[in-house]
A and B are shown apart, each in its own frame.
Chain A
Amino acid sequence: EIVMTQSPATLSVSPGERATLSCRASQSVSSNLAWYQQKPGQAPRLLIYGASTRATGIPARFSGSGSGTEFTLTISSLQSEDFAVYYCQQYNNWPMYSFGQGTKLEIK
């Protein structure tokens, strides 16, 4: 089983600033990594797939990078609607998936 570890658990950032979220895999997942955003009471929303490709309709302030075991989601200038929980998910080990435990991005 591939274990995905996200850090930090909670990140406090002011609106307009940059946020950097990390995701680490216990073994290489190549670029087979996705990021999701989840707001309270809502389903997750796909942000990034293939480690760096934005999903349809996702603003350019969201960017993903990394490969192998280390990945980063960067939000360049935080808007009020960006405060949420973010999950990474590996699909390199298909048909088995695993998600990270999430990073809560909160307003500082």
Chain B
Amino acid sequence: QVQLQESGPGLVKPSQTLSLTCTVSGGSISSGSYYWSWIRQPAGKGLEWIGRIYTSGSTNYNPSLKSRVTISVDTSKNQFSLKLSSVTAADTAVYYCAREGYYMDVWGKGTTVTVSS
């Protein structure tokens, strides 16, 4: 079955850009009518949806993060990626990627990103 795996630096300096990649295995990112989302969760807190992408390249972002977020897709590599610019300590969280068909039915295990100098 489809599996997702996040990868990227675990430590990012303040004001820099956080970059993560989600690799999809066990199926094609282009198959089915799915969107591909990023969600984050600060330690001990709830879930925050960041944004999504369709394989056509169309995107939607959380308005609270929209000015700093870019999500892209590389269908040839079966991957999609997240960039979050001008990070601060408030962006420290576990970042999850997920497959979405309105609800998230497949999740990656998550990767912890700490923003610190």
Contacts and interface: CB of A to CB of B under 8 A. Distances in A.
Interface of A: 32, 34, 36, 42-46, 49, 55, 87, 89, 91, 94-102
B26 interface: no
A43 B22 CA distance: 14
Contact of A99 (B49, B96, B110): B49
Contacts of B49: 96-99
B13 interface: no
8 contacts: A36-B47, A43-B110, A49-B103, A91-B103, A95-B52, A96-B49, A101-B46, A102-B46
Given A34-B103, A44-B107, A96 B62 contact: yes
B108 interface: yes
A46 B105 contact: yes
A91 B104 CA distance: 10
Report the contact-size class of chain B (Cβ under 8 Å from the partner): 10 to 19
A53 to B, nearest CB: 10
A44 B47 contact: yes
Contacts of A101: 46
A30 to B, nearest CB: 12
Given A43-B108, A95-B52, A102-B47, 14 more contacts: A43-B109, A44-B96, A44-B104, A89-B103, A89-B104, A91-B103, A94-B102, A95-B60, A96-B49, A96-B60, A97-B49, A99-B47, A99-B48, A100-B46
Interface in B65-114: 96, 102-105, 107-110
B109 to A, nearest CB: 6
A98 B48 CA distance: 8
A96 B102 CA distance: 10
B107 A43 contact: yes
A32 B101 CA distance: 12
Contacts of B103: 34, 46, 49, 89, 91
B90 to A, nearest CB: 17
B102 A91 contact: yes
A95 B48 CA distance: 14
A107 B103 CA distance: 28
